[in-house]
Amino acid sequence: MAEKKELLYEGKAKRVFATGDPDLVIQDFKDDATAFNGLKKGQIADKGVVNNTISSALFTLLESKGIRTHFISRLSEREMLIKKLTILPVELVVRNVAAGSLCKRYGIKEGLVLDQPIIECYFKNDALGDPLMNDDHVVMFNLATREQLAEIKSQAVKINIILKSYFLERGLKLIDFKLEFGVHKGEVLLGDEISPDTCRFWDSVTNEKMDKDRFRLDLGSVEETYQEVLSRITGKA
Ligand code: UDP
């Protein structure tokens, strides 16, 4: 069992702790929820347990399909042992169906199915509200090298194919999701989490929203929906 040492970093939904090994850290999932760049704040009971369990299952799935991630093991209900990354400050959003900021920014109707996935880059910078960027911005502002950007985009496309079919088998359409990558010993690995906080899922029959949009948009049944997504994932190995 990895020894939990000092707090290294506290984010909106997770804390990161040192361990006895400088290459490894513990990611501890909180119940705190934020939306609209921190303007809306709240708690979702047991979200930390749900997101840790779902992320652990998805990282295990992706590793089994050849995607390199920071994941080592799930340590407890809320804790995950991971490789320490230097996070690239670029968030990749992969979209299969129009929703959220895509609809707002471009005046597109929610639910439009995209023929090919759209990949977007955002500058990971809360003070600036995570602005959308093109590839040249990412490279010229040194957020990632041209080669790293090509690599993480190609990983994102592969991850989308794996996750789309995994979720569909569990009655969920994968609408869009956000990925973060980081460097560990010179290698680019998938980091952060993959959960209903960072993905949009719609029920494959009813199109009901099954993700953080229930919190963002005050749709009700927030906790119940997180538990439902968890049971669809853990109930079908
Ligand atoms: N997302 C995220 N963190 C962010 C911004 C977006 O995890 O800081 C996820 C979000 O949950 C959704 C996808 O990325 O699954 C696309 O989000 P969008 O750009 O539509 O922004 P939002 O509507 O969340 O403001």
Q: Which residues contact 18 (CB under 8 A, 6 or more apart)?
A: 5, 6, 8, 25, 26
Residue 2 domain-assigned?
A: no
Each residue of 106-148: pLDDT tens digit?
Answer: 999 999 999 999 999 999 999 999 999 999 999 999 999 999 9
Rounding to the nearest 10 degrees, give the CA dihedral for residues 99, 105, 109, 112: -50
**Sign of the torsion formed by the C-alpha atoms of 213, 218, 220 and 222:** positive
Each residue of 48-76: pLDDT tens digit?
Answer: 999 999 999 999 999 999 999 999 999 99
Q: Among residues 22, 57, 83, which one ends one of the domains?
A: 83
Query: Same domain, yes or no, for 73 and 94?
Result: no
Which residue is closest in CA terms to ligand 1's atom 25? 101
Query: Same domain, yes or no, for 93 and 77?
Result: no
Provide the domain limits for residue 192: 88-225
User: Could you tell me the CATH number of the domain that includes residue 44?
Assistant: 3.30.200.20
Q: Which residues contact 219 (CB under 8 A, 6 or more apart)?
A: 209, 213
Over the range 117-144, which residues count as b (16 or more CB within 10 Å of their CB) and which as e? bebbbbbbeeeeebeebeeeebbeeebb
Query: Same domain, yes or no, for 106 and 187?
Result: yes
Residue 233 domain-assigned?
A: no
Query: Same domain, yes or no, for 56 and 163?
Result: no
40 pLDDT more than 80: yes
45 pLDDT more than 80: yes
Query: Same domain, yes or no, for 126 and 214?
Result: yes
pLDDT at 234: 93
Which residue is closest in CA terms to ligand 1's atom 2? 198
Neighbouring C-beta atoms of residue 97, cutoff 10 Å: 18
Residue type, 223: E
Q: Whole-number mean pLDDT of the chain?
A: 97
Place of tokens 């963002």: 216
What is the SS3 string spanning 138-177? HHHCCCCCHHHHHHHHHHHHHHHHHHHHHHHCCCEEEEEE
Query: Same domain, yes or no, for 48 and 122?
Result: no
Query: Same domain, yes or no, for 202 and 219?
Result: yes
237 pLDDT more than 80: no
User: Could you tell me the CATH number of the domain that includes residue 102?
Assistant: 3.30.470.20
Residue 182 domain-assigned?
A: yes
Helix axes 222-234, 47-64, angle to 10 degrees: 30
Each residue of 76-115: pLDDT tens digit?
Answer: 999 999 999 999 999 999 999 999 999 999 999 999 999 9
Each residue of 182-203: pLDDT tens digit?
Answer: 999 999 999 999 999 999 999 9
Burial tier of 195 (Cβ tally within 10 Å: 0-12, 13-18, 19+): buried
Residue 237 domain-assigned?
A: no
For residue 184, what are the CA distances in angstroms to 22, 116, 119? 11, 31, 24
Mean pLDDT, rounded, for 20-42 = 97
177 ligand 1 Cβ < 6 A: yes
Residue type, 90: V
Query: Same domain, yes or no, for 58 and 144?
Result: no
For residue 175, what pLDDT band results from cuts at 50, 70 and 90? very high
pLDDT at 104: 98
For residue 1, what pLDDT band results from cuts at 50, 70 and 90? low
Query: Same domain, yes or no, for 38 and 103?
Result: no
For a ligand 1 pocket test, name from 105, 125, 198, 209 the mutation site with the most ligand atoms within 8 angstroms of its C-beta: 198
pLDDT at 2: 83
Query: Same domain, yes or no, for 97 and 69?
Result: no
100 ligand 1 Cβ < 6 A: yes
Mean pLDDT, rounded, for 169-173 = 98
